[in-house]
Amino acid sequence: PAYSLTYAQRAERHSNPAAKALLETIERKKSNLCVSVDVAKRADFLRVIDTVGPYVCLIKTHVDIIEDFEPALIERLNELSIKHDFLIFEDRKFADIGNTVALQYSSGVHKIAQWSHITNAHPVPGPSIIVGLSSVGLPLGRGLLLLAEMSTKGSLATGSYTEEAVRMARAHRDFVIGFIAQRRMDGVGASDVSSDEEDFLVLTPGVGLDSRGDSMGQQYRTPDEVVFESGCDVIIVGRGIYGKGNDVDTQTVQAQAERYRKEGWVAYEKRIAR
């Protein structure tokens, strides 16, 4: 099964350009760390990214959080992505009808499809959301993740909802490259596709080493729990690395990024050696 292969071996099995590039970047940088940069000011956003850049395979954004957004910010982000060799994942969580999400993805102030290699969607509208997003993203070589589970207390994305999300992904394997989830989805929503053949990426938020949660329902697990025990592929870390994100102390943020990178990589090496 995919979880015992190396990232490099898996890169060869993927034809979606975003999935392939992510796996190759992980292998090249020995990093399965994605930093989620949830800060409100342009300057803090760029400072955090420039600081953690060397330690990550992927930067996750919520571009709608940035209060002084301007289109030139995307140029800066692209420059940093080349300078530090990482991909970009706009965590937009699309959740509307196909026609609307196609417009939200391509247009508006942010024009997400132009710069974000990977984005994500809630499966709640059904398969039409994938049809809408892929009409924009597939010609650009983008990849989509479905939110099959969430990290929060009381999440409704469980049981048959999760199973249906996996079935939707299987029916659109050219564009859906994996899931936001808390564990591997192999064998979930049983199908006639053998789990040897199928290789969805699992990116996992809710990762922290020093805290088990926040006061608003977030729940944290360690990189070892996520990558070794649950077989996930990428750890997504936000506040564990940059705290509140303003008055960023570069050395602390750098040290935290390297700490999470190392924990994530050790857990992966332990997994493939098992």
For residue 99, the SS3 value is helix
Which DSSP symbol is given to 181?
A: -
Q: Which residue is nearest to ligand BMP (CB)?
A: 238
Of 30, 9, 77, 24, which Cα lies nearest the Cα of 49? 77
Nearer to ligand BMP, 13 or 62 (CB): 62
> Is 239 known as a binding-site position?
yes
41: which 2 tokens? 């000011």
Q: Do 80 and 109 contact (CB within 8 A), yes or no?
A: no
Annotation says 93 is catalytic: yes
Annotation says 199 is catalytic: no
> Is 38 known as a binding-site position?
yes
CA dist 45 and 93 (Å) reads: 20
Annotation says 262 is catalytic: no
Check residue 36 for interaction with ligand BMP (CB under 6 A).
Answer: yes
Q: Which of 23, 56, 177, 180 binds ligand BMP (CB under 6 A)?
A: 180
Among residues 93, 111, 186, 224, the one annotated as catalytic is 93
124: which 2 tokens? 């709640």
> Is 214 known as a binding-site position?
no
Among positions 7-26, residues that touch ligand BMP (CB under 6 A) are none
* Tally of CA atoms within 13 A in the half-sphere of 207 that contains its CB: 34
Q: Which of 16, 116, 162, 218 binds ligand BMP (CB under 6 A)?
A: 218
Instruction: Give the interface with ligand BMP as residue ranges (CB under 6 A).
Output: 36, 38, 62, 91, 150-151, 180, 205-206, 218, 236-240
